Amino acid sequence: MELFVSEGNPHCLKVLAALEVTGVQCSVQYVNHEERVVPFLSRPTLPALLLPTGLHLFSSNAICRYLFEVSGQECSEFCNQWLEWEATDLQPALLQALYMAVLQGKGSEVSTVLQGPLKFLDQSLSKGGMPYLTGVQYPHVQQFYLSVFSEHKSVNGWFDRVASIHSCLSAAQKVLQGKGLQGMKSYMQRQPAPQSSQGRNTQPCNCNPIEVSARLSEGKRNILVTSALPYVNNVPHLGNIIGCVLSADVFSRYGRLRGWNLLFVCGTDEYGTATENKAREEGLTPQLICDKYHAVHSSIYKWFQIDFDFFGRTTTEKQTEIAQDIFWRLHKNGFLVEDTVEQLRCEQCQRFLADRFVEGICPHCKYPEARGDQCDKCGRLINAVELREPQCKVCRQTPVIRSSKHLFLDLPKLETQLEQWLEKSTSTGDWTTNAKQITRSWLRDGLKPRCITRDLLWGTPVPHPDFKEKVFYVWFDAPIGYLSITANYTDEWEKWWKNPHQVELYNFMAKDNVPFHSVVFPCSLLGAQDNYTLVSHLVATEYLNYEDTKFSKSRGVGVFGDMAKDTGIPADVWRFYLLYVRPEGQDSAFSWADMALKNNSELLNNLGNFINRAGMFVTKFFEGCVPVMELQQEDKKLLALVGWELQQYIQLMDKVKIRDALKHILNISRHGNQYIQVNEPWKNIKGGDTERQRAGTVTGVSVNIACLLSVMLMPYMPEVSQTIRNQLNAPQSCVSTMLQGNGTFVCSLCAGHRIGTVSPLFQKLEADQIEALKKRFGGQQVFDVYDA
Amino acid sequence: MALRELSSLEKYLGLKKPNKYSTQGDKKVPVLQNNNGPPMLGLATIACHLAKEAKRPELLGDTAESRAVVQQWLEYRVTKLDSCTKEDIKFILKDLNLYLQDKVYLAGNRFTVADTLMYYGIHPLIVDLAIQEKEQYVNVTRWFDHIQHYPGVRHHLPPVVVLKNRIYTSRHH
């Protein structure tokens, strides 16, 4: 007999609680929401129970009935009535309320939806005067999410009684993972919109259409996190991933644990020449190219468990709206200048040629294959019009020089304002050193007006009548993507983006993007004069190299996109290693041998070993229950040490020192291993009472440290983190409490707490496996579908 | 509608004295007035009660498993079937067709109230099916025809004609 459940699925609460209460022997399998367990149902339906005879039960109530009957407690008629009412009245209302609260952010409006059922429940409870609805089958009417809506007194009383029952608590923790209502987000996104709600369709992206109002909070820090928008056409490699989305993800997960009100947005940057050309190559429209590759990006990040609040795109109406608005404001405030630019135009292809599409003879060194922006041989920067015997790279015709009017952002005019703001931001915020240096050198070189328009088709149209056929230059337009992506997520985007006093903005990127985020974009926003939120903390990484060279898609060198998935190495291990070698102060390199080494020494032998041993001792020596702990001086010293490491971790993470903070997690498990080694609980357990007590204390302390580690690990390795808590059957409360304030290490697993099934967390990476992988990604790859 | 079903059920069960019913709310949920206790609410609940009253507990399933399956389909009837939209109909028929591929009745190997109530509930859908669609959902049609001819079940509903010969050359169902 097997029970299939999925995380974040409210229907699973009942069955898990019922399973525990009745104690029926049944294995539980956690699957994805999309898993079609029941063979004859077209839509995935969970929870589902596979009966011994091979039949499936797909109704959560029927499953509960079966479990209760099998354990000897039959359902009375009174109970039947409640179950029928629950299925016909309460469930639909609750699903609608959940939809409103979790996906639409309308948590305050759910009382109207739930009024009817709650009133009925209230009346029945107060009439009957019974502590539970029907004696034994209370879990059936399991509504943990009701805790948000508290008007009816009798319901509250009943609810509190039910909610505090252990089986209900543990079911809630398993399903909601300590995230409360938000834990159901991924499940709710896959459900069809409830019939009586107005579902507004947003844009075609990989996420389901949702509209959430991300509210600002009065008492907490409001933090807006962006990761540099990956260009849609380029398949991300490990370097891109660690530089941007992964770093931002770790910080965002951490921030939520800290109780900050945090919004993490990102998306694909889709306009520009490269997409236009790709479209031409593949015979598709640019829009279709973008649709196709946006999905590729989305699935890669999903595999890496990047927990965006929203991953959008720049090709939306909101983008046009907001970009044009900023443009007009700059124009009105006098920060745009017009100028005529001489450009090469290919009459054959009927378009102005971007620099890289012109080839000719370098005017300085006579190299015949100089490109239109830089000569590969002598390295000098040139203008395309300076090339001798220029040719259009596509059709080989000689282009002609044509004048074209363009608009320039008058950076020099905004320089003083910019410097004033920079002074404040860099001194009060957590800018990385390289970001500050790069910015300073740009300013030192002197700001020049920057062209913000281009003669292209695929881009945000310039609304000015004199520049009708032109679009915005991608570097003017792309950072505005942060705003439009947020606008596509929530109507309250201006509360985030035009609110510098209440919102702190973190920008994550690799160092080559710094000048655009610290100079050009802030100038656009300052010139637009609409109280925009400017970056408070600019976090830039150096470059990640691949082995002893650079990532190169054309030469097949390095790990790109979803190749990581094909290696069989779990996403969390990738995350761990990339974060371990995060290029912070200087460039770093990805190395297969090093990844294997770190996996085997740190994850397997240090972290995994400690946590596994702690759990195994509880299972083997104390029948699966955390023993009584009597702390002696030595134990208290360890606790103090662990507490100190925790505080360091928090101080470092607060300052986005992601790599350093990771070290403290590993320190803790190292201390833990030594502690176990010294105290030898496996020997002491065979001794007399004092020795056994010692074994108990050491085991109990260790398993509590394991619990703390699971919380600290959450930003880095979310899946492993949850697995540890599942194995320890840890209560959801521990996740939200231990990282608050300066960090407090509390005892979350008290004496008597029953843990779950312990098993190894990590696998060893063998030398031959690593050799094979290194060869595979070393440069003899065949071109695959992600070809540029 | 629900009241007529309950009355038909009573006739099938051979209950001598018909009970007193009323309805509640805009969904018209049936209510059974009970002389010696609080009123009983809900179609599935009342149907099960009637079966017990008529001393025919086997109609609710004869093993723990089949009892759970009966309740599952009763719940399906009062939730999915009763509130289905036009788009849902296709999925409902497809799922049922697959489910009934290797079953004569909905639960176990005998007739239960699940068959009765599902038959009553699905009748309006089947009535609207074209011949080709009935052939497409061949298992549902087979089960439906079997139940509508089951002695004492049909009562208030008009019979649906089901042809024995296939008219459309068989594609795979």
Q: What is the mean pLDDT of residues A198-219?
A: 44
Per the domain annotation, does B171 fall within a domain?
no
pLDDT digit string, tens, across residues A187-206: 777 776 665 432 222 222 33
Q: What is the mean pLDDT of residues A511-539?
A: 95
pLDDT at position A168: 67
Facing B72 at nearest CB: one of A52, A62, A195: A62
Per the domain annotation, does B47 fall within a domain?
yes
Asked if A202 and A210 touch (Cβ cutoff 8 Å), the reply is: yes
Contacts of A87 in chain B (CB under 8 A): 75, 78-79
Range of the domain at B61: 1-149
Query: Tokens 């931001």 identify what position?
Result: A425
Band of residue A116 on the pLDDT scale cut at 50, 70, 90: confident
Is the pLDDT assigned to residue A614 strictly greater than 50?
yes
CA distance A200 to chain B (A): 19
Picking from B58, B53, B74, the residue whose alpha carbon sits closest to that of residue B5 is B74
Q: What is the mean pLDDT of residues A378-384?
A: 76
Give the Cα separation of A580 and A574 in Å (integer). Answer: 10
**How many C-beta atoms lie closer than 10 Å to residue A331's C-beta?**
15
Contact B94 A42 (CB under 8 A): yes
Q: Which residue of B has its CA nearest to A53?
A: B65
Q: What is the rounded average pLDDT for all residues in chain A?
A: 85
Contact B40 A81 (CB under 8 A): yes
Facing B68 at nearest CB: one of A65, A77, A195: A65
CA distance B153 to chain A (A): 23
Asked if B24 and B31 touch (Cβ cutoff 8 Å), the reply is: yes
Band of residue A145 on the pLDDT scale cut at 50, 70, 90: very low
Per the domain annotation, does B35 fall within a domain?
yes
pLDDT digit string, tens, across residues B18-63: 888 888 877 788 888 877 777 888 899 999 999 998 999 999 998 9
pLDDT at position A169: 67
Per the domain annotation, does B80 fall within a domain?
yes
Give the Cα separation of A448 and A142 in Å (integer). Answer: 65
Facing A66 at nearest CB: one of B64, B96, B98: B64
Amino acid at A482: Y
Q: What is the mean pLDDT of residues A113-119?
A: 71
The bridge status of strand A471-472 relative to strand A370-371 is unpaired
pLDDT at position A128: 57
pLDDT at position A281: 78
Chain B positions contacting chain A at CB under 8 Å are 27, 29, 40-45, 48-49, 52, 64-65, 67-69, 71-72, 75-76, 78-79, 83, 85, 91, 94-96, 98-99, 101
Is the pLDDT assigned to residue A387 strictly greater than 90?
no
Give the Cα separation of A337 and A331 in Å (integer). Answer: 8
Q: Higher confidence at residue A503 or residue B18?
A: A503
Facing B69 at nearest CB: one of A43, A55, A81: A55
* Phi-psi sector, A272: left (phi>0), alpha (psi -120 to 50), beta: left
Q: Higher confidence at residue A444 or residue A732?
A: A444
pLDDT at position B28: 81
Positive/negative CA dihedral, B151, B155, B159, B160: negative
pLDDT at position A167: 66
Contact B68 A63 (CB under 8 A): yes
Q: Does A73 touch chain B (CB under 8 A)?
A: no
Q: Which residue of A has its CA nearest to B82?
A: A88
Q: Does A85 touch chain B (CB under 8 A)?
A: yes
Give the Cα separation of A470 and A476 in Å (integer). Answer: 13
Facing B65 at nearest CB: one of A39, A66, A92: A66
Is the pLDDT assigned to residue A106 strictly greater than 50?
yes
Q: Which two tokens stand for residue A79?
A: 């109970």
Q: Which two tokens stand for residue A445?
A: 């070189």
Contacts of B95 in chain A (CB under 8 A): 40-42
pLDDT at position A10: 80
CATH of the domain at B86: 1.20.1050.10
Rounded (10°) CA dihedral A16, A17, A18, A19: 50
Contacts of A39 in chain B (CB under 8 A): 98
Is the pLDDT assigned to residue A561 strictly greater than 90?
no
Where do the DSSP E strands lie in A456-547? 471-472, 503-510, 537-541, 544-546
CA distance A62 to chain B (A): 5
Please classify residue A117 by burial: count the beta carbons closer than 10 Å to its beta carbon, then call 0-12 exposed, 13-18 middle and 19+ buried. buried
pLDDT at position A472: 94
Per the domain annotation, does B24 fall within a domain?
yes
Band of residue A780 on the pLDDT scale cut at 50, 70, 90: low
Q: Which two tokens stand for residue B32?
A: 């059974």
Q: What is the mean pLDDT of residues A744-759?
A: 89
Facing B65 at nearest CB: one of A51, A61, A85: A51
From A382-391, A434-443, A645-654, B89-98, the region with the lowest mean pLDDT? A382-391
Is the pLDDT assigned to residue A336 strictly greater than 90?
yes
pLDDT at position A363: 87
Per the domain annotation, does B86 fall within a domain?
yes
Q: What is the mean pLDDT of residues A349-370?
A: 84
Give the Cα separation of A96 and A443 in Å (integer). Answer: 54
Contacts of A80 in chain B (CB under 8 A): 42, 44-45, 48-49
Facing B75 at nearest CB: one of A42, A59, A66: A59
pLDDT at position A261: 92
Band of residue B169 on the pLDDT scale cut at 50, 70, 90: low
Q: Which residue of A has its CA nearest to B32?
A: A81
Contact B41 A80 (CB under 8 A): no
Band of residue A130 on the pLDDT scale cut at 50, 70, 90: very low
Could you tell me the pTM of the whole model? 0.62
Contacts of A91 in chain B (CB under 8 A): 79
Domain count, chain B: 1
- Cβ pairs A/B, distance under 8 A: 83
Amino acid at B118: M
pLDDT at position A216: 82
Contacts of B78 in chain A (CB under 8 A): 84, 87-88
Q: Which residue of B has its CA nearest to A58?
A: B72
Per the domain annotation, does B111 fall within a domain?
yes
CA A211 to chain CA mean position, Å: 18
Q: Which two tokens stand for residue A307?
A: 């927990």
Asked if B29 and B72 touch (Cβ cutoff 8 Å), the reply is: no
Contact A81 B42 (CB under 8 A): yes
Contact A59 B99 (CB under 8 A): no
Q: Does A140 touch chain B (CB under 8 A)?
A: no
Q: What is the mean pLDDT of residues A1-30?
A: 85
CA distance B72 to chain A (A): 5
Contacts of B79 in chain A (CB under 8 A): 87-88, 91-92
Is the pLDDT assigned to residue A753 strictly greater than 50?
yes
What is the DSSP annotation of A686-738? TS-HHHHHHHHHHHHHHHHHHHHHHHHHTTT-HHHHHHHHHHHT--THHHHHT
Asked if A107 and A148 touch (Cβ cutoff 8 Å), the reply is: yes
What is the DSSP annotation of A164-222? TSHHHHHHHHHHHTT-GGGGGHHHHHTSPPPTTS-PPP---SSSPP--------SSS-E
Is the pLDDT assigned to residue B101 strictly greater than 70?
yes
Contact B75 A65 (CB under 8 A): no
Alpha carbon distance, N-terminus to C-terminus of chain B: 32
Q: Higher confidence at residue A424 or residue A22?
A: A424
Band of residue B12 on the pLDDT scale cut at 50, 70, 90: confident
From A413-427, A438-452, A649-663, B148-162, the region with the lowest mean pLDDT? B148-162
From A80-84, A213-217, A637-641, the region with the lowest mean pLDDT? A213-217
pLDDT at position A612: 96
CA distance B97 to chain A (A): 8
Q: Does A196 touch chain B (CB under 8 A)?
A: no
Contacts of B92 in chain A (CB under 8 A): none
pLDDT at position A733: 79
pLDDT digit string, tens, across residues A640-699: 999 999 999 999 999 999 999 999 999 999 999 999 999 999 999 999 999 999 999 999
Q: Does A74 touch chain B (CB under 8 A)?
A: no
pLDDT at position A413: 96
Band of residue A595 on the pLDDT scale cut at 50, 70, 90: very high
Asked if A302 and A241 touch (Cβ cutoff 8 Å), the reply is: no
Per the domain annotation, does B160 fall within a domain?
no
pLDDT at position A162: 62
